[in-house]
Structure 1
Amino acid sequence: MDARERALEVAHHEAGRFLASLTDRPVWPRADVAEMERVFGGPLPEDGEDPASVVATLARDAEPGLVGIPGGRFFGFVIGGTLPAALAADWLVSAWDQNSGSTTMTTAVAALERTAGAWICELLGLPADASVGFVTGAQVSNTVCLATAQHAQLRRVGWDQTRQGLRGAPRVRLVVGEHRHASIDRGARFCGWGSDELVVVPTDDQGRMRPADLAAALEADRGAPAVVCLQAGEVHTGAFDPFEDLLPVARAAGAWVHIDGAFGLWAAASPALRHLVAGTGEADSWTTDAHKTLNVPYDCGMAIVRDAADSIAMLRTAGDYLIYSRMDPWDVTPELSRRGRGVPAWAALRSLGRSGVAALVEGMCENAQRLADGLARIPGVTVVNDVVYTQVMFRLDDDGATRALCAAILAEGTAAMTGADWAGRAVIRCSVSSWVTTADDVALTLEAIRSLVAAR
């Protein structure tokens, strides 16, 4: 007990010290992975060490390899910060150490996750009786939803995948947009679809699927079961598919509609932004993350399926030693053993309330627009996308100069953003995803970029 208390005290102190350093420390890590391996590597010690000493050493030696994700100027990938209530709840989850697959055994965690799932569906305008499976993130959520969709579509044409497998099964078309996220392709691979099998629908210059093109793609093999993947928040531009126009097209073809809304579905929580996701509630399954827009710690994604029976039919496990209820967490996710990752989501929602979630999302969008406006005033910088949500994409006239600027931004350390390619050109993309980001953070970021552009 004393060893545990001492170790927790050191961890608490070091966590506070790290969080307090975020304002002034470089956002990008100062040491690469090879350096970190040299620090932490070597042969396994023959004898053990006091737990408090291990934690102190860990915190000290990891310092140069830590990235300032919880701070206000991390704009890389699509990664949120961590709200105070969510962070503290996550510490409790680790201390409680509950295996959260069973509603009979870990009753408190199961109830917290059920409530969080219900609140999320309410905020996002999704069916109140949908199944919500808490998974690691959008990759697993997309995989779970695609697997469930494939199983359900096969069952509707008389093929029992759980008994007959996929060899010899009727073809299920997977219809995707040209600018889908790579996690769709990877999830499709896990489910048995090869890249050559995907039916790819062209998109516009912001990555949005066109209804006429979707209709043409579905008409080409009318009658075959289909799964259509739409997108709420293109990862570069932040654009949203026109759901109210696309859903009727997919429905007319008898398709299952899945919406990848890892960060974009949260627009539904804001009255000012809700128009971006109008119609999404009519789909069959949805992917979203809490460790993005909702700002809970890694990892926390949600696989949401309209009809819980479809989830259970695909995912329910078996074991004569397990205790079953009407629906357990292990019935709607691929895992038997996992931590209570939905508990921080409950804490975040409880701490914010409906109005707080709306303000959180709207604040991110306001800062994204502020960043885009400032970038557009820097000579030589072009903002590439229509900034409708949290994503900002910009470039210089030359691809090489754009990539060099991105590297210089990371080396300079004021902010972190990542490079990409869009329409065959190099770009720098920013995702404003943190509750911590302020107008001052945006101003500091813009001043750093302005200086780097002027000095090139």
Structure 2
Amino acid sequence: MNQRSDESHRDRSDLRALLVRAAEHAAAFHASLPGRPVRPQADLDTLRKAFGGPLPSDPTPPDEVLAALVAAAEPGLMGSPGPRFFGFVVGGTLPAAMAADMLAVGWDQNAFNAALAPAGIAAEEAAGAWLKELLTLPASASVGFVTGAQAANTVGLVTARHHVLAQAGWDVERRGLGGAPEIRVVVGEERHATIDRSVRLIGIGTDAVTTVRTDRNGAIDVADLERVLASGGGRPSIVCLQAGNVNTGACDDLRAAIRLTHRHGGWVHVDGAFGLWAAASPAKRHLVAGIELADSWACDAHKWLNVPYDSAFAITSRPDAHAAAMSYSAPYLTGAGATVGGADYTAESSRRSRGFAVWAALRELGRDGVAGLVERCCALAERFADGMRAAGFEVVNDVVLNQVLVGFGDDTRTDEIVAAVQRDGTCWLGATSWRGRRLMRISVSNHLTTEADVDRSVAAITRIARSVL
């Protein structure tokens, strides 16, 4: 064996050992999650010092880099993939999805199109077909694999903008928005903030937003929606509905709202970042009845499907409009335009192959497993609510999915209790403002969470709240 062959063999052996060590560190972190405090052990200033300092002049061997990274990061890791993290709406990571995502990094496939990454595109197509079947969406719909709900909502609204302006005889891709017919964006007063950001990003502007009242649990008031649509004066309308209110979990009356919007010639986009997964559950599907009638949908995989960050879907009922709004081509892009998919449905050209992890998660769970995951999290959220009520605290919302809002009588005390729970480390959750009150916000989204985790968390919150109160 010559010197170059010896060096190549050694490099391959070193890489294998390095990746094995990295996987061992990841596995050890996940194994520690049930027992470790959920909060990070180091504050941000300490972590900045650990990661900081001058850039070295000389190269550093990869194994030393890995060891330094682990030493710097480990004290600052949040236990968000673990069973007692109830902040935001953060899922865990299914074993097959985690392993598939590690392979995706190792394979390093840019899923721009089928010429560049045929396996990546095929995985997206298969996972997308399974996804539409699970969520009861049209089989003909297009699926773009994006980073999160912000990207998914933006793609959905860009497609909506293309469609409603084309219906009005305006080519927005060629002529822009200057002089275009004025678009109205109709939203519930409790929509997610990413909707407003998307409206800004696509150039419509928040002055075009018209707000519709919501009911006591945060679902849109269909009668008020009818009033707003009737006052539109013939302007093109995009209506944004919600499957899963960010605070309460409430779902809009989708069937009624979609039919009403379509009668007025509008486009319906559904922000279903986590709530759209209710469609996969026979027990919860009634909450999103009529979802298949919409024109576009946003949904996250890294929430209730428990796929690693970052992973979400931008889905539309009109693939031609989707591609017309998002795709592009150039002479050097081999395979561009041969088939539609991949980057044609997203705002990214350089795209990690997210389809591998989604495919693996759906394959691991199957139809019954996805339904079971949704139903189990909902049952655990109800258990959380029951525990809070039994301890004498107020559960403010109707617990219809996986969201629980708890009040402690006083806004300042509520924030103090939430901060104390975070410091305690038994569990982690956040606070929110809803209907003029500061409330504890609990989200149950992790496949690892058990009844014992909920009971342990309820006991910790109760102990801490009583000490504050």
Normalized against structure 1, the TM-score is what?
A: 0.98
SS at match of 2:269: strand
Structure 2: distance between partners of 1:258 and 1:312: 16
**Which of 47, 63, 66 in structure 2 is aligned with 1:36?**
47
What is the aligned residue count? Answer: 455
Structure 2: distance between partners of 1:16 and 1:348: 18
Partner of 2:361: 348
Structure 2: distance between partners of 1:240 and 1:262: 12
Which of structure 1's runs of 4+ aligned residues deviate more than 3 A?
none
Structure 2: distance between partners of 1:329 and 1:40: 36
Structure 1: distance between partners of 2:420 and 2:138: 46
Shift of 1:58: 1.1
Structure 1: distance between partners of 2:437 and 2:369: 38
Structure 2: gaps of 5 or more residues: 1-11
Structure 1: distance between partners of 2:165 and 2:43: 47
Structure 1: distance between partners of 2:66 and 2:313: 32
Structure 1: distance between partners of 2:233 and 2:133: 35
Structure 1: distance between partners of 2:19 and 2:411: 49
Is 1:450 paired with 2:462? yes
Structure 1: distance between partners of 2:414 and 2:139: 46
The Cα RMSD (Å) is: 0.9
**Which of 246, 250, 259 in structure 2 is aligned with 1:235?**
246
Shift of 1:234: 0.3
Partner of 2:76: 65
SS at match of 2:187: strand
Shift of 1:351: 0.7
Structure 2: distance between partners of 1:453 and 1:429: 14
**Which of 400, 421, 424 in structure 1 is aligned with 2:436?**
424
Partner of 2:4: none
Identity of aligned residues (%): 50
Deviations 1:405-452 (A, max 9, x none): 000000000001001111111101011000000001001101101111
The answer to whether the Cα contact below 8 Å between 1:10 and 1:56 also exists between their aligned partners in 2 is: no
Deviations 1:346-372 (A, max 9, x none): 000001111111101101101101101
Structure 2: distance between partners of 1:125 and 1:333: 22
The answer to whether the Cα contact below 8 Å between 1:132 and 1:303 also exists between their aligned partners in 2 is: yes
Deviations 1:136-169 (A, max 9, x none): 0000000010011011100111000111111111
The answer to whether the Cα contact below 8 Å between 1:3 and 1:50 also exists between their aligned partners in 2 is: no
Partner of 1:402: 414
**Which of 122, 128, 134 in structure 2 is aligned with 1:123?**
134
**Which of 244, 250, 264 in structure 1 is aligned with 2:275?**
264
SS at match of 1:48: coil
Structure 1: gaps of 5 or more residues: none
Structure 1: distance between partners of 2:206 and 2:326: 24
Letter of the 1:216 partner, please give it: R
Deviations 1:177-224 (A, max 9, x none): 000000000011001122222011111121111111001111112311
Return 310-319 or 385-394, whichever deviates more.
310-319
The answer to whether the Cα contact below 8 Å between 2:255 and 2:293 also exists between their aligned partners in 1 is: no
**Which of 177, 182, 185 in structure 2 is aligned with 1:166?**
177
Letter of the 1:358 partner, please give it: A
**Which of 144, 155, 166 in structure 2 is aligned with 1:144?**
155
Structure 1: distance between partners of 2:147 and 2:306: 14
SS at match of 1:287: strand
Normalized against structure 2, the TM-score is what?
A: 0.96
Is 1:308 paired with 2:308? no
Structure 1: distance between partners of 2:239 and 2:310: 27
SS at match of 2:158: helix
Where do 1:146-295 residues align within 5 Å? 146-295=157-306
